[in-house]
Amino acid sequence: PAVGRGGWHVQLGAFGDPGNARKLWGQVSGRFAGASVSYVKSGALTRVLVGPYPSRAAAAAACGAVRPCVPVNP
């Protein structure tokens, strides 16, 4: 899927320990060529967001076989 412009991202998880968020990205980063990762604090959790993608469909396609993976427009 196209990466680079747009407001859509995929959320790969949310973790109480930010180290676990970074560990997850280390495990799956190769599946998201050209995408950027963001670690976004949301209360006590750190969300792992990857993107941006131009549309919800492109974000959903980027999820592929990675689960959990949810398209979001933060």
Query: Tell me, what's the pLDDT at 2?
Result: 61
- Name all domains of the chain by residue range, CATH numbers in brackets: 8-72 (3.30.70.1070)
* Sign of the dihedral defined by the CA atoms of residues 64, 69, 52, 26, in that order: negative
Q: What percent of the chain has pLDDT over 90?
A: 80
**CA neighbor of 24 nearest in space, from 62, 59, 66, 65:** 66
Q: Provide the pLDDT confidence category of residue 49 given band limits of 50, 70 and 90.
A: very high
- pTM > 0.75: yes or no: yes
